[in-house]
Amino acid sequence: GRYLVFSSHVTSTTGELSKYMESASSRSVILKPLPLIPTLQRAKENFDWQSITPQIALYYGLIPALLYEASNDVRSSGHLPTAKRDQAIECQQDLDERKLKILIGSFFTGNPNDVPFPLLQLMNTSTMKDGQESKTVVQWIPFHMMEVLKSFSKAEVGPSFPSLRHIPQLFTGFRDAKIESGDSWENLFVVVVLMRCISGQYDANMLPPFQGCNDIRNASITYQSPFSSNHDFGTDKVEQFLKGIKEPDTEEFPHIGIFFPTHAKFELYDVIVVYFVSKGKRLLYGYQLRDGKKPPKEAMNCQFTKSYVIRGKPPTSNLNKMNWITPNQAEISAFFGESGRHWTPARWKQLREDSK
């Protein structure tokens, strides 16, 4: 038989020859993605970058060319490519609120049809089994997509979109944190919570009050607010912190407040989500992040409707100890979505161990 092998700069998620060249043929093609770095050790050797961490590698999508330029950028800035990305962002300045929510939702669904065509070149693509058939999914590359979110956070298209500007900061925290500090896991979790709330891609297991609520898709979203200036954001008592969380000034309900009190001195909760149902009524959901599998030392605070332990090494089945809910592996994977599930501590460990 005869075979035609070619490379292309055309971005496509379909396997038809006509998508890549002028052809009336509907003949299919076999898509082969470019290789990603297989191990952290390989990246250290090839790019002379001994300080690279799994989080840094994942931030650049494990793409050899990006990691090469990033390693040069560590020594002298100005190497990382931005021209094509800037051009792709410029083409999307007319996106409305509905389309932006769908785009952000692609972080979880991996559906290439949810991504405007110019932005597809800023993402990785892969294939996965869907029953008997294979389908193409997209995965976000943080280095590129954080700039996209920065741009869209300035668009006055909805009450929640200014909150997008915090996600690049949190991803920087994910990238730059010390490996054993737990900060990367916390930052990544907050990113996912924010993106789920902003996009309306709620989750019945870990964001339970919002699933199935008809008017929640129009809720306003805030990060680190509303909080009273009369209370200490860095308090050492969770009860005092909860007193500082006030109702939104606009009195628009429903409202979701997401709190990541990194300077607070209490250890029981790392992330707090407040669901303001109506005036005078709120529900509290607390999350303790563990990149390993250690259980909490204390029982949950009774002011919380539900409290969760989000483990980097989740159990195979649900646990419920001292009223803490520990989601299982399948629930964690579903919550982090098609993109986020590739960036969890299990992936960090794999990148490190494959290097041994």
Question: Backbone dihedral region of 168: left (phi > 0), alpha (psi from -120 to 50 degrees) or beta?
Answer: alpha
Q: Which helix (H) or strand (E) holds 281?
A: strand 281-290
Cis peptide upstream of residue 345 (ω within 30 degrees of 0): no
In three-state secondary structure terms, 117 is helix
Count of positions (residues) in the chain: 356
Please tell me which of 72-81, 204-213, 314-323, 334-343 the model is most confident about, judged by mean pLDDT: 334-343
Question: Please, which pLDDT band fits residue 17 given cuts at 50, 70 and 90?
Answer: low
Cα first-last separation, the chain: 42
> What pLDDT, on the 0 to 100 scale, is given for residue 41?
93
What distance in Å separates the CA atoms of residue 167 and residue 106, rounded to the nearest whole number?
A: 16
- pLDDT tens for each residue of 212-237: 555 677 788 999 999 999 999 999 99
Instruction: Give the orientation angle of helix 329-340 with respect to helix 183-199, to 10 degrees.
Output: 70
Closest CA to 274 of 254, 252, 301, 290: 254
> What pLDDT, on the 0 to 100 scale, is given for residue 109?
95
Beta-bridge partner residues of 310: 289
> What pLDDT, on the 0 to 100 scale, is given for residue 136?
84
> What pLDDT, on the 0 to 100 scale, is given for residue 201?
86
Question: Please, which pLDDT band fits residue 128 given cuts at 50, 70 and 90?
Answer: confident
Contact 248, 282 (CB under 8 A): no
- pLDDT tens for each residue of 50-101: 999 999 999 999 999 999 999 999 888 888 989 989 999 988 877 788 888 9
> What pLDDT, on the 0 to 100 scale, is given for residue 19?
60
- pLDDT tens for each residue of 146-200: 999 988 887 766 666 788 889 999 999 999 998 777 899 999 999 999 999 988 8
Contact 52, 129 (CB under 8 A): no
What distance in Å separates the CA atoms of residue 141 and residue 59, rounded to the nearest whole number?
A: 7
> What pLDDT, on the 0 to 100 scale, is given for residue 234?
92
Residue whose pair of structure tokens reads 């994942």 in the numeric block: 58
